[in-house]
């Protein structure tokens, strides 16, 4: 096998090498560096790219990567692993989702631009050095709020790269897989700039696991993430072992522009349901009470049947706030023990 090279970083067969991509300088001269780990196996196999913390406060993926890397022996690996533990070091340093200098969502600007603003330059450094013309598969680890399902995002569709992305999602092994539909709202909110969607456009199967709990380490979510990355590597023939799947997997359909359950009035929302609960149309999901009179001012009902994918994390709501989301169940897969 030949050496694996990313930027100025090189790994020979059987090596694990640590380095960084230099993106530019801050105003005070501080360099902007994206950490990169290369693990070059000794046998032929695919190149898998894994990143975390594109949104700086989503730290469960960083811990997933640490544990996965600690388990790997390059001399027993087939193929190569390119790992970026912190894709957005500026947001990570500031403990926030968006790049603090321009308040940009880095996961809306892929593949980036070499002459763009900082988020675009970081995205371009990752895309051009680590993924384009190198990666065969991509895992982009993210973290949702604690009151949302742990699931994997893939695109909804029938073409080959989306089908293969769906296979990766299945073997990663979360209980829920969400298929994202491209609608007009999808375009307006710049979902075409998500790394996963850019990869698909370039023929690279890609998944986005959404692990539970941002701004904190959730042990259960981390374990799911570690098992998932290792499952994918087993599926791709990079390491040996049996793929571990949950007894059931629910395939859900979601359109960004579809109606959300929002509050008509302000107050405190009391939910009667939780993520993962299957509900029927017109079922009562909770209520809002006034902080002035402590009386119930609004009853919240399901606008359709499906599964609760999201409940607002903070129950103090204003009129028009998103408080719940229901996703349609399109398939249930029974896995053999």
Does the pLDDT value for residue 1 go beyond 90? Answer: no
SS3 of 124, please? helix
Tens of pLDDT, residues 132-177: 999 999 999 999 888 999 999 999 998 999 999 999 999 999 999 9
Residue 121 phi/psi, 5° resolution? Answer: -70, -40
Q: With beta carbons less than 8 A apart as the criterion, state whether 121 and 112 touch.
A: yes
pLDDT at 272: 98
Closest CA to 87 of 33, 47, 46: 33
Average pLDDT over residues 74-83: 98
Q: Which long-range contacts (CB under 8 A, 24 or more apart) does 121-127 make?
A: 121/23, 121/24, 121/32, 122/23, 122/32, 122/34, 122/87, 122/88, 122/89, 122/90, 123/195, 125/21, 125/23, 125/34, 126/21, 126/34, 126/51, 126/84, 126/87, 127/195, 127/198
pLDDT at 259: 86
Closest CA to 174 of 234, 229, 240: 229
Closest CA to 146 of 89, 215, 232, 48: 215
Pairing label, strands 142-144, 151-155: unpaired
Separation in Å, CA 147 to CA 7, 106, 131, 139, 144: 39, 23, 32, 23, 8
pLDDT at 277: 97
Domain 261-326: assigned CATH number? 2.40.50.100
Q: b/e map of 191-223 (b: 16 or more CB within 10 Å)?
A: bebbbbbbbbebebbbbbbbbbbbeeebeebbe
Tens of pLDDT, residues 165-224: 999 999 999 999 999 999 999 999 999 999 999 999 999 999 999 998 778 899 999 999
CA dihedral sign of residues 41, 171, 181, 100: negative
Average pLDDT over residues 213-236: 94
SS3 of 294, please? coil
pLDDT at 125: 98
* Averaged pLDDT of the chain: 96
What are the start-end ranges of the H helices in the chain? 60-71, 89-94, 118-126, 160-172, 184-188, 195-201, 219-235
Tens of pLDDT, residues 26-49: 999 999 999 999 999 999 999 999
pLDDT at 336: 84
Q: Name the residue ranges covered by the structural domains of the chain.
A: 4-254, 261-326
Pairing label, strands 137-140, 206-212: parallel
pLDDT at 231: 98
Domain 4-254 fold is Aminopeptidase (3.40.630)
Decide if 4-254 and 261-326 have a common fold.
Answer: no
pLDDT at 203: 97
pLDDT at 214: 77
Does the pLDDT value for residue 337 go beyond 70? Answer: no
């Amino acid at each position: 096998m030949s050496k694996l090279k990313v930027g100025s970083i090189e790994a020979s067969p059987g090596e694990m090498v640590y380095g960084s991509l230099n993106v530019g300088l801050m105003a005070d001269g501080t360099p902007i560096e994206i950490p990169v780990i290369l693990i070059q196996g000794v046998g032929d196999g695919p190149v898998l790219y894994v990143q975390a913390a594109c949104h700086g406060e989503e730290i469960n993926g960083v811990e997933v990567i640490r544990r996965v890397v600690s388990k790997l022996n390059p001399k027993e690996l087939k193929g190569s692993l390119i790992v970026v533990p912190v894709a957005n070091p500026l947001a990570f340093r500031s403990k926030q989702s968006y790049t603090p200098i321009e308040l940009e969502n880095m996961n809306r600007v892929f593949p980036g631009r070499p002459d763009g603003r900082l988020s675009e330059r970081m995205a371009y450094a990752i895309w051009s050095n680590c993924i384009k013309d190198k990666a065969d598969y991509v895992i982009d680890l993210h973290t949702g709020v604690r009151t949302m399902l742990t699931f994997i995002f893939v695109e909804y569709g029938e073409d080959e790269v989306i089908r293969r992305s769906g296979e990766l999602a299945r073997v990663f092994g979360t209980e829920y897989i969400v298929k994202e539909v491209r609608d007009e709202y999808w375009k307006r909110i710049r979902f075409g700039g998500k790394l996963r969607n850019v990869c698909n456009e370039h023929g690279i199967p890609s998944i986005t696991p959404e692990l539970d709990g941002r701004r904190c380490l959730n042990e259960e979510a981390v374990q799911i993430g570690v098992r998932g990355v290792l499952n994918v590597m087993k599926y791709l023939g990079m390491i040996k072992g049996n793929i571990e799947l949950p007894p059931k997997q629910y395939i859900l359909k979601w359109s960004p522009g579809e109606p959300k359950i929002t509050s008509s009035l302000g107050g405190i929302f009391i939910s009667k349901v939780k993520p993962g609960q299957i509900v029927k149309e017109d079922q009562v999901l909770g209520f809002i009470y006034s902080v002035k009179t402590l009386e119930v001012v609004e009853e919240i009902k399901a606008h359709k049947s499906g599964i609760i994918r999201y409940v607002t994390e903070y129950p103090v709501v204003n009129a028009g706030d998103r408080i719940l989301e229901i996703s349609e169940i399109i398939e249930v897969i029974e896995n053999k023990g």
